[in-house]
Amino acid sequence: MALRIATPPVTPEKVLIDGKGLDASKIVYVRADCTKIGPGTSYVDWRVKANKASTILAYRTRTNVLGGTITLDDGADVDDGDTFKLNGLTFTAESTEDDADAAERKYYITGTAADDIVALAALLNDATYGVPGLQFTVASLVITITPKATTALPNGAPTILFQQGTSAASEIAFANTTLASLVRDSSFTSVTGADNSTTSGTIYKQSADGYPFCWLGYTDTSSAETTLTIGATIHP
Q: From the CA atom positions of the chain, what is the Rg in Å? A: 19
pLDDT of residue 34 exceeding 70: yes
- pLDDT per position as a tens digit, 204-228: 999 998 899 999 999 999 999 999 9
Give the CA count within 13 Å in the CB-facing half-sphere of 9: 3
Strand ranges inside the chain, DSSP E: 14-22, 27-33, 43-50, 54-61, 68-72, 83-86, 89-94, 106-108, 134-139, 142-147, 162-163, 172-176, 183-184, 191-193, 202-207, 213-220, 226-235
Residue 99 pLDDT? 97
Q: Tell me the pTM.
A: 0.91
Encoded amino acid at 140, one letter: S
pLDDT bracket for residue 4 (50, 70, 90): low
Distance from C-alpha of 133 to C-alpha of 159, rounded to nearest angstrom? 9
Residue 117 has pLDDT above 90, yes or no: yes
- Main-chain phi, psi angles of 115, to 5 degrees: -80, -40
What residues does each domain of the chain span? 20-64+182-235, 68-147+158-176
According to DSSP, residue 200 is labeled: S
| Mean of per-residue pLDDT scores for the chain | 91
Please check the confidence at residue 194 and state whether its pLDDT lies above 90.
Answer: no
Selection from 216, 220, 200 nearest residue 208 by Cα: 216
The reported pLDDT for the residue numbered 76 is: 83
Q: What CATH number belongs to 20-64+182-235?
A: 2.60.120.680
CA 73 to chain centre: 23
Lowest-confidence region among 8-12, 95-99, 140-144:
8-12
Please report, as a single letter, which amino acid is at residue 64: N
Among 107, 68, 103, 105, which residue's Cα sits nearest to residue 89? 105
Beta carbons of 25 and 224 less than 8 angstroms apart = no
pLDDT digits (tens, 9 = 90+) for 143-192: 999 998 776 666 789 999 999 999 999 999 999 999 999 999 999 989 99
Longest Cα–Cα distance of the chain, Å, equals 79
